[in-house]
Amino acid sequence: MSSATEQAGIGPRVTALDVLRLLSEIVAFGSLAVWGFLAWPFAWNIVWGIGAPVVAILVWALFISPRAVVALPSLVRMIIELLVFVSATLALWALGLPWAGLAAGVFCVVVGVFVLRRETR
C-alpha cells in the first residue's frame, strides 16, 4: 500500500472472506443470544440473553479480532475462536436444534480455517 492511501485513511480492501467472517461472528453471537432468551425462565432469560453474547463479543474483541487488545500466538487465538464457535453450536443444540447447531458450527469453522490460511501466508 502506498503512503498516499495510508495518509488518506484508506485501509485494505474488504474481501468476500471478510464478509463471511463477519457473518460467522454474527451467527455465533446470535446463537448465544437466542439460547439465552429461550433456554431460561423469565428474568434469567434477559440476563443470559444479553450476557452470553456480550461475554463472547468481549472475548472476541480482546483476543481474536484483527485489532485484538491482547496479542496472542495464532494457536491460542485459534483455540479461543474455536471455543466461541463450539459454544454457539452447543447453544443451538441445547435448544433442540441439532442440525442448525451443526450447520452453524461447520460454517463458522470452515470460515475460520480460510481466515487462518489467509493470515498465515
For the chain, 121 residues long, give each residue's pLDDT as a single digit of tens: 455 555 666 778 889 999 999 999 999 999 999 999 999 999 999 999 999 999 999 999 999 888 899 999 988 988 999 999 999 999 999 999 999 999 999 999 999 889 888 888 7
Q: Would you state the cell numbers that stand for residue 24, as one nine-digit string? A: 460467522
Question: Could you tell me the pTM of the whole model?
Answer: 0.85
Contacts of 59 (CB under 8 A, 6+ apart): 80, 84
Cα gap 96→94, rounded to integer Å = 5
